[in-house]
A = this chain, B = another copy of it.
């Protein structure tokens, strides 16, 4: 019994990622897609949010959205895992529920 949280908003523009992380339970997973992948880059002012969340949640980033925005996987905050759409599907299977933070 765990939840996959899906975030699609840039954390520099909106509060969705911050709100998601403050409501995720231990053992949940967080997937960053669309503009939310921009928050995954190391050295940004939101990196600390992800680093502290990694203690209790797995965090994934969608590779197709990273590539579209010119971000190489080697630039990401350490500990984040990159998945493609096929991996996105697998995450929705592994977690028996999911929530989109729109």
**Interface check A85, CB cutoff 8 A:** no
**Interface check A72, CB cutoff 8 A:** no
Q: Which of A3-27 touch B at CB < 8 Å?
A: 12-15
| Interface residue total, chain A, C-beta cutoff 8 A | 4
Q: Which of A49-97 touch B at CB < 8 Å?
A: none
Chain B: minimal CB distance from A22 (Å): 14
Chain B: minimal CB distance from A93 (Å): 31
Chain B: minimal CB distance from A39 (Å): 13
Q: What residues of B have a CB within 8 angstroms of the CB of A13 in the complex?
A: 14-15
Rounded to whole angstroms, the CA-CA distance of A13 and B13 in the bound complex is: 8
Can you list 5 pairs linking A and B with CB atoms under 8 Å apart? A12-B15, A13-B14, A13-B15, A14-B14, A14-B15
The 3 A-B pairs of least Cβ separation, nearest first, read A14-B14, A13-B15, A13-B14
